[in-house]
Amino acid sequence: MRLPIDPNLPASLWAETAIPAPRLDRLEGRREVDLAIIGGGFSGLSAALFARDRGLSVAVLEANDIGWGASGRNNGQIIPTLSKKDPADIIARFGTDHGERIIAMVRDSAELVFGTIRSLGIPCDAEQTGWIQPAHSPGRVGLARRRSDAWAAHGAPVEFYDRARIAELLGSKAYFGGWGNRTGGHVNPLSLARGLADAAQRAGVLVLTRTPARAMQMNGDRWELTTPSGRVMASRVILATNAYTDDLWPGLRKTIVTANSWQLATAPIADSVRASIVPGRQAVSDTRGELGFFRYDAANRLVTGGASTWQIGAEANLRERVGDRLMAWFPQLSRLRFDFVWSGKLAMTRDFFPHVHQLGDGVYAWIGCNGRGVALSFAMGRELARLAAGDDPRELTMPLTPLNTIKLHGIVNFVAPRLALWSYRRADRREISA
């Protein structure tokens, strides 16, 4: 499967409001670096910056434009948790030693993002106002309490909220309690991606756009990456392509299923109403399987979204469904207009954990954000840079795992996200009426 060369980002709120992209060129001719990174999103760009700090010469090859993948299309919520796995699940899966390291990595991941933004001075409307996960049913209040307790036990700055407090924080009576982490928040993600590319370029990274890597093979003791307009030679390669992984490395794409996530942004909310809806401007994503989420952008639009089983007619359907949902949570929104609708792909793994792979001699990848990957991409970028700089894989936070492809991938990739959405909707309805 080949990625199309479509440098233009889809029309989205972020494409409309982000800072301009730095001037970047496509590859021409032949270049030699220590490390070639495939993918110009948060993972690739943060790996590039960390690798430069370790003294490597680095090139980033992006098939389209910076932030063209999930990094330029997401909701911009900076969340220091995995989407479906809690600290106890992490220890059960990876054991105490790696488990504790992974928990610490996830716990500190939002601060890593905001710290990077501050130290590089990236103008990306960053608001470290906290992240809140409200409970959508009485039954889920127990889950919120357990999550809050578990993360507190691992040193995270979290808080549990009862029903009255969550109503006050959100300006909504639709939730039954919840919890939150003060280090979270939100950004304009495309500005962040472009700011990282600019910083990487200034740090001496060769950042190339409209440069798809079409093939890679060993040539002597180096990898030769072939693109339509030239070649890059590198002794180490990082694949940071996540949900937009193509067939550059055989099988990698078949270790995940991709699910479409839709984003919708309202017209700016009038100040009089805005003051009663999430007055603290936190990022919010609830406990539903079919996630309910929202945050403000710099112009006070509510940026929210949803999922659709079918992509044909999805936009009209989502305008209605997501609009109804938002009005039910916030009846004070007497009128609602969506000015922007767009979508992007999420990379889901079978075990809902992110995977780190060594694919070949000096070739590394991480894949599987499972819907929550902005903060994680920064932490994983740092992990991959450490591998590329020669750190002992046993010292890393995430253990390397073998590449396990999904059988009948084409069928599973089509059916699984639809079945999952259907079962999430059923479970959400059941819990609400329980």
Ligand X SMILES: Cc1cc2nc3c(=O)[nH]c(=O)nc-3n(C[C@H](O)[C@H](O)[C@H](O)COP(=O)(O)OP(=O)(O)OC[C@H]3O[C@@H](n4cnc5c(N)ncnc54)[C@H](O)[C@@H]3O)c2cc1C
Here's the x/- map for ligand X, 339-368, by CB under 6 A: it reads as: -----xxx----------------------
Residue 76 makes contact with ligand X by CB under 6 A: yes
Here's the x/- map for ligand X, 187-206, by CB under 6 A: it reads as: --------------------
Are 90 and 99 in contact, with CB atoms under 8 Å apart?
Answer: yes
Number of residues that bind ligand X (CB under 6 A): 42
Residue 38 makes contact with ligand X by CB under 6 A: yes
What are the structure tokens assigned to 419, written together?
């079945």
Region near ligand X per CB under 6 A, out of 25-33, 373-381, 390-398, 399-407: 373-381
Looking at beta carbons only, is 24 or 346 nearer to ligand X? 346
Looking at beta carbons only, is 141 or 284 nearer to ligand X? 284
Looking at beta carbons only, is 273 or 352 nearer to ligand X? 352
Residue 69 makes contact with ligand X by CB under 6 A: yes
Residue 243 makes contact with ligand X by CB under 6 A: yes
**Which residues, 6+ apart, have CB-to-CB distance to 349 below 8 Å?**
255, 256, 355, 367, 368, 370
**Which residues, 6+ apart, have CB-to-CB distance to 298 below 8 Å?**
17, 125, 188
User: Min. distance of Cβ 64 from ligand X in angstroms?
Assistant: 5
Region near ligand X per CB under 6 A, out of 129-137, 309-317, 355-363, 370-378: 370-378
CB burial readout 411-431, b (16+ within 10 A) else e? eebeebbeebbeeeeeebeeb
Residue 130 makes contact with ligand X by CB under 6 A: no
CB atoms within 10 A of CB 266: 24
> Which of 130, 212, 292, 323 contacts ligand X by CB under 6 A?
212
> Which of 12, 40, 109, 302 contacts ligand X by CB under 6 A?
40
CA–CA separation, 356 vs 387, rounded Å?
10
Distances (CA, A) of 128 to 65, 106, 118, 331, 382: 27, 16, 11, 27, 21
User: Min. distance of Cβ 78 from ligand X in angstroms?
Assistant: 7
Q: What part of residues 149-188 is at the interface with ligand X (CB under 6 A)?
A: none
Residue 209 makes contact with ligand X by CB under 6 A: no
Distances (CA, A) of 291 to 120, 377, 417, 425: 32, 20, 14, 10
Residue 103 makes contact with ligand X by CB under 6 A: no
CA–CA separation, 50 vs 196, rounded Å?
11
CA–CA separation, 84 vs 74, rounded Å?
18
Looking at beta carbons only, is 362 or 373 nearer to ligand X? 373
What are the structure tokens assigned to 354, written together?
């992110």
Residue entry with tokens 């992490």: 90
**Which residues, 6+ apart, have CB-to-CB distance to 270 below 8 Å?**
none
User: Min. distance of Cβ 76 from ligand X in angstroms?
Assistant: 6
Residue 213 makes contact with ligand X by CB under 6 A: yes
Residue 70 makes contact with ligand X by CB under 6 A: yes
Looking at beta carbons only, is 39 or 195 nearer to ligand X? 39
Residue entry with tokens 């740090």: 203
Residue 417 makes contact with ligand X by CB under 6 A: no
Are 364 and 358 in contact, with CB atoms under 8 Å apart?
Answer: yes
Please give the residue ranges that form the binding site for ligand X (CB under 6 A). Answer: 3, 38-44, 61-64, 68-71, 73-77, 79, 212-213, 240-244, 246, 248, 261, 263, 344-346, 369, 372-375, 377
